[in-house]
Amino acid sequence: MNQPVFRFAPSPNGRLHLGHAYSALLNSAFARAFGGRFLLRIEDIDPIRSKPDFEAAIYDDLAWLGLKWENPVLRQSEHFDIYCQALHGLRQRGLVYPCFCSRKTIQNGHVADTATDPDGTPLYRGVCRHLPPEEIEHRLSENARNPDLWPHTWRLALDRAVAAARAADPTSFRYKTFSVDGVCHETTSDPALWGDAVVARRDVPTSYHLSVVLDDWRQGVTHVVRGADLKAATSLHTLLHRLLSISTPIYWHHDLIVDDTGSKLSKSRLSKSLADLRSEGISAAQVKALCRSHNPRLWDALGGL
Ligand code: GLU
C-alpha cells in the first residue's frame, strides 16, 4: 500500500484558533500513527481576505505547537493556471455555465429558491443556464475587453454533471470514511443538495471546492482529516472527483471544538486565537492538553500528541 498522506489546509484570512490547532495536531498524529506524510497547504485563493501576515502567523503558530511539515508548502494563489485549465475542460464538456446574476439578486430571491444548500445559500434556479448561446458569447467577449462589464461566476450544470459522473462510474457518489483502527466504511453522498454550485468565483478562476479537490489529488493526499463543518461539501467534492477523473481520498470529519456558548470556534467570531492564548501565558503543552481533553480516547489510540 502507498504511504498515507495527510494535510492541514488553513486559509490565511485570520489568526488560527484552538479548533485549527486540534485539526492540525490530529492530522500530524494520524500521519505519525499510520507511518504517513504530513503536508501543509495554504488556501489563499481569496485575494481580498488572504493576508501575508496571517500566512506568516500560521507558520509561527504551527511551529510553536511543535508541528513539522514538508517543504515546499503549496500556496494555492500560485496555481491559478491549473484551476483555470480544469474549469476550461468542464466548460468544453458543457458541464459548467457562466452566471451573470449578482449576489444581491440571488439573495433577494429573484433567481433563487427558498430552499438552501448545506451552507445556507439559496439554491440558484439556473436562470443564466437558459440564456441564448449568442448572448452568453457576447457577454463573455465583452468581458474579455473589460472584466467589469459582465462579472460572472461559473456554475455546475448539476443535472448534466451528475449524469456525466454516473455514466463514467455508476458508484459515483460513494466515498470512504476511516476510523482510528484503520477500518473503512462506505458512505453515499448526494451532490444534488448543492444545486448548480459555484465552481469558480467572480474574482478568481476557481472556488474552494475546485481547488481543494485538485490539490488533494495533485499532492497525493490519501486521507483527508478536517472539521465536521466540511462534511456536507464532500458530496460536491465526490462529484468533482468523478468529473475530473481524479481519485477520491478517504475522509474523517472530526467533531468541532465549541466555545462556552456551544458555538463552533471561528475566526470571524473572534474566538481567542492561539496568539492570544500564547500572550496570556498559555504554553503549547497546555494547548495540546486542551485538545487531548476534547477526545482523550482518540488521542490515546493515536499514541498521544
Ligand atoms: N481551507 C479550509 C479552511 O480553512 C479547509 C479546507 C479543507 O480542509 O478541506 O476552513
Best probe residue, ligand 1, of 13, 26, 43, 219 (max atoms within 8 Å of C-beta): 43
pLDDT for 270 beyond 70: no
Cα of 43 from ligand 1 centre, angstroms? 7
CA of 271 to the centre of ligand 1 (A): 17
* pLDDT tier, 268 (very low <50, low <70, confident <90, very high otherwise): low
Question: 132, 151, 181: which is closest to 298 by C-alpha?
Answer: 181
**Do 57 and 275 meet the contact criterion of CB atoms below 8 Å apart?**
yes
| Ligand 1, pocket residues at CB < 6 Å | 9-11, 43, 212, 226, 230
d(CA 299, CA 251): 18
Best of 16, 23, 54, 208 for a ligand 1 pocket test (most atoms within 8 Å of beta carbon): 208
Residue minimizing CA distance to atom 10 of ligand 1:
10
How many of the other CB atoms lie within 10 Å of CB of 152? 21
For the question of whether the overall pTM of this predicted structure is more than 0.85, the answer is yes
User: What are the start-end ranges of the E strands in the chain?
Assistant: 5-8, 37-42, 74-75, 96-99, 112-116, 122-124, 153-156, 174-178, 184-188, 198-200, 223-227, 250-254
Q: Specify the DSSP class assigned to residue 3.
A: P
Task: State what percent of residues in the chain have pLDDT above 70.
Answer: 97
Taking CA atoms only, the protein residue closest to ligand 1 atom 6 is 9
User: Cell numbers 481533553 correspond to what residue?
Assistant: 293
**What would the pLDDT profile of 46-91 be if each residue is shown by its tens digit?**
999 999 999 999 999 999 999 999 999 999 999 999 999 999 999 9
Q: Give the C-alpha separation, 189 to 237, whole Å.
A: 10
Backbone angles phi, psi at 137, to 5 degrees: -60, -40
Q: Which residue of 50, 230, 273 sits with most ligand 1 atoms within 8 Å of its CB, as the best mutation to test the pocket?
A: 230
Of 82-91, 187-196, 290-299, give the lowest mean pLDDT range.
290-299
Which tens digit of pLDDT belongs to each residue from 100-109? 999 888 877 7
Q: Which atom of ligand 1 is nearest to the CA of 227?
A: 8
- Residue 269: the pLDDT is 56
C-alpha 41 to ligand 1 mean position (Å): 9
Ligand 1 atom nearest to CA at 10: 4
Taking the CA of residue 23 as reference, the ligand 1 atom at the shortest distance is 8
pLDDT digits (tens, 9 = 90+) for 113-133: 889 999 999 999 999 999 999
Closest atom of ligand 1 relative to the 20 alpha carbon:
4
